[in-house]
Structure 1
Amino acid sequence: MKRCTSALLQRTFSVQPVTRYRCRTYTVLAQRIEQIKTRPEPFPLQHEPLVKSRPDPYTIVAPELLHLRGSLLGLLGSAHPGLSEIARYYFLHPSKQLRSLVVLLFSRATNGLGGNWEQKRWGAEREASTGLSEELDRPLTLPDVLNNWHPSMPNDTASFETPFDLRPPGMHRVPDSPPPPATRNQSLPQLTSPPLLLPVQIRLAQIMEMIHIASLLHDDVIDSCTFEAEPPEGFGNKLSILGGDFLLGRASAALSRLGESEVVELVAGVISNLVEGEMMRMKCVRTPGLGQLEGPQSLEEAWSAYLKKTYLKTASLLAKSARAAVVLGGCREGEIWKDVAYAYGRNIGIAYQLVEDTLDYEAGSTNPMPGLATGPAIYASEEHSELLQLMRRNFGDQGDVELAIDYVRRSSGVERTRLLARTYANKARDVLRSLPDSDTKIALDVLTDHVVNRTW
C-alpha cells in the first residue's frame, strides 16, 4: 500500500510543476513559461535606451568664445592707456556674450548650405596660407593708432621718423582662381562635416562684440537733457564717449576686411539703429523746431513705440549679425538661410529685451529710469489707468518712477510680459525648422529657453 502511494505521488509531481499557487491549474504552454521564469524582473529602467542630452549652446562653441575675448584684449591692449583700461573693464566683465554666441551658432548651423560656400572656404584657406588672416589680430601700437595699417600700403607708412617717399608699384602675382560657384541643379545642400567656422565669421563675432561694448559705453554717458548733474561713476562722460568711438573705429576697420558689401551695409545699419533706439529711450528730447517730444498718448502708441525701440536697441544687432554670418558663409541672394537667420535673431532679441525689462521689477529694484514705458508698465496701465498719464510725460516728473513701480507691482504686468517674451521665443524656435538637423540647430533651440528662463 505504501509503495502504491509513493508511486502515485512521484507520478503526480513529475507531471505538474510545483508553483507558489497550488490551487491554480496551468495549461501546457503556461507550465513551460512558468518553468522558464517564475517571477517578473524589476522594472527594467536599465534596459531603456538613454535619452541624449540637448547640447548646451555655450559649450558647443566654448573655445571660440574664449578666443574672441582674449584676442579682443590683445587687439586693444597696447593702445592709449585710458582706452585700454576701458576696454579691459568691459571685455573682462562677466558676460553671456549672447551676440557673439548667435553669430557663431548660426555660422555652424548653415556653413555648407550656401551656393558660394566652396568659394568662401577656398578664400579662407588661401588667406591662411598667405598670412593675411593674422593681420587683424595683430596688437595695436601707438603709431598704428595714428595711421592705421592698410594692406595696400607699404610697411613704412606707420613710421613718422623719416619723410615719406613715393615708390613705383611692384609686380603683383596673378591670384589663384577660386572654384566655380555651385549650380542650381546640384543635389540638396549639405552642412559641412565636421563643422567649420570661417575666420571672417569669427571676426564678425568680434566686431559685433565691439559694437555692443561701444553702445554700453555711450549708454553710460549721463542721461540728462541739461547735462547739469554730476558725471556718472566709472570713467566719466568724455572718456566713455571717446572709448565708445574708438571701439566703433576699430570695428569699422575690421569690418572693411570682411570683403562683403552686404555685411558692411548690415553692420552699418546696426550702428544707426542703436542711436535711434537710444534717442527713443531717453526721457526727453528737445529740438529747436519741435521742442520737447512727448511720450505716447495711447496704449496702441505705447506698444508700437516700445517694440520699435526694443528692435532698434537690442534685436537689430542680433538679427543683422546672424544674417551677416550666413552671408559670410556663402549664402546667395534668393536662398532662405539669410531670412531664417534674420527672423531668429529678431525674435530672440525682442524676447531677450522683454525679459530684461521684467528683471528690475522682479528683483525689487528701483532701477527703472525715466523714459519710454516698457512692457510691464504698459500692461499695468490696463489695470491702473492712472499709469497712462505718467507714460504720456515719459515718467519725467518728480515721483513718477516710484509711483509707476508701485502700480506695476500691484498688477500682472511682469507675468504678462514674460508670456509675451515666450511668444517671441517660440517664433524664433519655429523658424529653425527650415534648417537641416544638427547639434547646432538643437543648441539654437535650447538658447530660446535660456533667454526666457534666465535670471541674469
Structure 2
Amino acid sequence: MLRPICLIRRYSSFSAAIETAEKLVQPHASSKFDPFSMVSAEMRVLAKNIASLIGSGHPTLNRVTSYYFEAEGKNVRPLIVLLLSKALAKIPESERTRIAIDPYDVNEQDEFRGTPKAFSFAGQNPLDSISPLRVLHGINPNIILNPLSKPMMSREQYREKDLANGILPKQRRLAEIAEMIHTASLLHDDVIDFSDSRRGRDSGNIAFSNKMAILAGDFLLGRASVSLGRLRNSEVVELMSTAIANLVEGEFMQLKNTVMQPNLDQIENDGAVKQIPAPTGKVPVEVHEYSVKSPQQISHEENVEAAFQYYLHKTYLKTASLMSKSSRSAAILAGCNEEMIENCYQFGRNLGLCFQIVDDMLDYTTTAELLGKPAGADLQLGLATAPVLYAWKDKPELGPMIGRKFSKPEDVELAKKAVLEARGVEKTRQLAEQYCSEALKNLRTLPDSDARNALELLTNSVLTRSN
C-alpha cells in the first residue's frame, strides 16, 4: 500500500452563495450543531461586508469582481474561520497567553508579541484606516465612492455583536479576507485552465474576457491586502500574505510537473515546447527537490512515491495553505497559547488536504451539473491527481502518459480504465479519510462546545459531499 510521507482550494444574489454553504454540510434539519445555522448572522454580515470591500469607482470592474460572489459558492473558508473563532471563544482567559483580552471589551486587545510599542496598533478597530484617507483615496472621495472608508456597521454595532457571540471583529474580517483571496484565485485559475463554467454558469473569463478576469482577481487581492493590513497584526499579515504566495507556487507546480518533466529549461506553451531563457547567475535559482530518476537509479515504487509527495505538496499550496493559515490566524487573534495555535493550523491543513483530495476524487465520479464546473477535467488538463497516481503504482505503463500529460488521443480513456481497474478512486477516498481523522483529532483539543461539534460535523461532511 502506498503510504505518503505527509499524513498529518449591494447584491441580493449573495443569498445564493449563503444557501450553498448550508447545502455543503447537509445536516439533519433538527441538528443543533448545524454549522451554517450557528453562524448564519455572521455569514450574512460577511456577504454584505465583502460587497462593500470590493467596490471601485469603475462600474465594469465592480461587475467582474462581484460576479463569482453572486453565484452559488461553498463559502467553506469563511465558515471555518467563523466557527473556529466561536469555538476558541470558549477557552478560559487564563489560557490565552499570546494576547491579553478583556472579556468585557473584546474589541480592545493589548499589543501583540514581537511588535515594538511605538508601532503597535493592536487595540484599534479593523474599520479604521492606518494611512490618512486622503492618501488612500488619491482623489476627491466625494466624486467617486471609495469603499476603503465605508464600513458596513458602526463600532457600537461591532461591539454589541462581539459581546453576544464571541467572534472578534478582526476574526470576522479575517473570514472575509480568506474568501476574497480564494475568489481571486478562482478568477485566475479559470483563465489558466481554460474553464468555461464555474458555480453552474459561465466562468469569469468566458462571461467577460481573460484580461478582465485576471485584472479583477488582482483587484480582489489588492482590496484583501488593505483589509489585511487593518488587522494590525504583523504575524497574521505575514501568514495570509504567504498564503497568497503559496497559491501562485502551487499553480506553478501544477503547470509544470517537474517530477515527470525534469528538464527545467523548457516549458509547455499552448501545447508547444518552449525553451526558456537561461539564468544569468545574478540571482540564485533554486532547483526543486522533487525529481524522477531513471529505472537504473531508483525503483518504480520510489518514483511513484516522489510523484505522490509532489502532488501532496502542490495540494497543500493550492488549497490547504489558505485554510491552515487562516485557521492559525483566527487562533492568534483570539490570543491562544502556542499549542492551541498549532492545533488550529494542523486542523486547517488536514481539512484542506482532505477537501482537495475529495475534490480530485469527485472529478472521476460525479457530473458537471453537480460539480458546478466541468467534470473529468483533470486528465484533459494533463493533471496526475491521487486516483491516477494510485493506478500508476500498479500499472507502470501509465508513467509515459503522465510524463506527456495524457496528450495522445487515447491517453485519457486508457488512464480512466487503469484508475478503475486499480481501484484508484477507493484508495483516494481512504487517503482523504486519514486526513479527516487527523483534522478531528486536532479539533478535540478545543473545549467542548456547540461550535466545536459543528466543526466536527463540517469536517465529516467533506468526505460525503457530492460537489
TM-score of the aligned structures, taking structure 2 as reference length:
0.68
- Within the candidate set 208, 213, 233, 1:260 is matched to 233
| 1:88-237 matches, cutoff 5 A | 88-111=66-89, 113=91, 114-115=96-97, 116-119=99-102, 122=105, 124=107, 133=125, 135=127, 150-153=129-132, 155=134, 158=137, 160=139, 195-223=165-193, 233-237=206-210
Task: Give 5+ residue unaligned stretches, structure 2.
Answer: 1-29, 111-123, 142-161, 195-203, 258-265, 268-275, 280-287, 294-302, 368-374
Q: What is the number of residues matched between the two proteins? A: 350
Alpha-carbon separation, structure 2, partners of 1:428 and 1:404: 31
| 1:314-325 matches, cutoff 5 A | 314-325=319-330
SS of 1:124's equivalent? Answer: coil
Alpha-carbon separation, structure 2, partners of 1:383 and 1:427: 27
1:304 aligns with 2:309: yes
Alpha-carbon separation, structure 2, partners of 1:354 and 1:389: 23
Closer/same/farther in 2, CA of residues 58 and 312 from structure 1, 3 Å limit: same
Shift of 1:296: 4.8
State the partner residue of 1:21.
none
| CA deviation profile, 1:379-409 (whole Å, cap 9, x unmatched) | 1123332212212233344443343223223
State the partner residue of 1:249.
222
**Equivalent residues of 1:306, 1:372 under 8 A apart:** no
1:72 aligns with 2:45: no
Shift of 1:300: 1.1
Shift of 1:105: 1.2
Larger Rg: 1
State the partner residue of 1:408.
419
| 1:261-410 matches, cutoff 5 A | 261-282=234-255, 286=267, 287-289=276-278, 296=292, 298-332=303-337, 335-363=338-366, 365-368=375-378, 369-410=380-421
TM-score of the aligned structures, taking structure 1 as reference length:
0.70
**Equivalent residues of 1:267, 1:321 under 8 A apart:** yes
**Equivalent residues of 1:280, 1:372 under 8 A apart:** no
| CA deviation profile, 1:4-59 (whole Å, cap 9, x unmatched) | xxxxxxxxxxxxxxxxxxxxxxxxxxxxxxxxxxxxxxxxxxxxxxxx94501122
Alpha-carbon separation, structure 2, partners of 1:159 and 1:311: 38
**Equivalent residues of 1:372, 1:394 under 8 A apart:** yes
Structure 1 counterpart of 2:362, one-letter code: L
**Equivalent residues of 1:117, 1:331 under 8 A apart:** no
State the partner residue of 2:120.
none
Structure 1 counterpart of 2:222, one-letter code: G
Closer/same/farther in 2, CA of residues 438 and 244 from structure 1, 3 Å limit: same
1:83 aligns with 2:61: yes
Shift of 1:104: 0.7
Structure 1 counterpart of 2:101, one-letter code: E
Alpha-carbon separation, structure 1, partners of 2:88 and 2:51: 29
Alpha-carbon separation, structure 2, partners of 1:295 and 1:396: 21
Identity of aligned residues (%): 43
Alpha-carbon separation, structure 1, partners of 2:311 and 2:366: 22
| CA deviation profile, 1:204-258 (whole Å, cap 9, x unmatched) | 011111100110111122448xxxxxx9523222111111110110011111100
SS of 1:205's equivalent? Answer: helix
Shift of 1:101: 0.9
- Within the candidate set 413, 416, 425, 2:436 is matched to 425
- Within the candidate set 437, 444, 450, 2:461 is matched to 450
**Equivalent residues of 2:354, 2:436 under 8 A apart:** yes
Closer/same/farther in 2, CA of residues 193 and 360 from structure 1, 3 Å limit: same
Closer/same/farther in 2, CA of residues 135 and 380 from structure 1, 3 Å limit: same
Closer/same/farther in 2, CA of residues 156 and 431 from structure 1, 3 Å limit: closer
Structure 2 counterpart of 1:304, one-letter code: Q
Closer/same/farther in 2, CA of residues 158 and 267 from structure 1, 3 Å limit: closer
SS of 2:107's equivalent? Answer: helix
Alpha-carbon separation, structure 1, partners of 2:216 and 2:324: 25
| CA deviation profile, 1:409-451 (whole Å, cap 9, x unmatched) | 3331111101110110011001222111111111111111111
Shift of 1:78: 4.6
**Equivalent residues of 2:126, 2:169 under 8 A apart:** no
Task: Give 5+ residue unaligned stretches, structure 1.
Answer: 1-51, 137-149, 163-191, 225-230
Structure 2 counterpart of 1:59, one-letter code: S
